[in-house]
Amino acid sequence: MIKYFIHGRLGIKIEALWEYQMAIGELVPGVAAGRLSPDKYAENFSDLHAPLDAHEALVAAD
């Protein structure tokens, strides 16, 4: 997970805000942004096939 240590105008760490959003996002029912960290998305989609090359894309689109 990328952590940012930049202080905003109010002196709140962006890292703390991200962690708060992640904690709240897990509790919200239905579709909600911020449920998974970027690392978790990469892990979840790592089993997908490699992108098609130009020829494969043309064949698949036909």
Instruction: Give the pLDDT confidence of 9-59 residue by residue, as tens digits.
Output: 555 565 666 566 655 556 667 777 777 888 988 888 888 778 889 999 999
Cα–Cα distance, 43 to 30 (Å, whole number): 22
Nearest partner of 40 among 13, 2, 9, judged by Cα: 2
Range of the domain at 37: 14-61
pLDDT of residue 55: 96
Residue 9 lies in a domain: no
Question: What pTM was computed for the model?
Answer: 0.33
Angle at CA 13, nearest 5°, toward 10 and 18?
120
Cα–Cα distance, 48 to 51 (Å, whole number): 9
In the chain, the number of structural domains is 1
Tell me which DSSP letter residue 11 carries: S
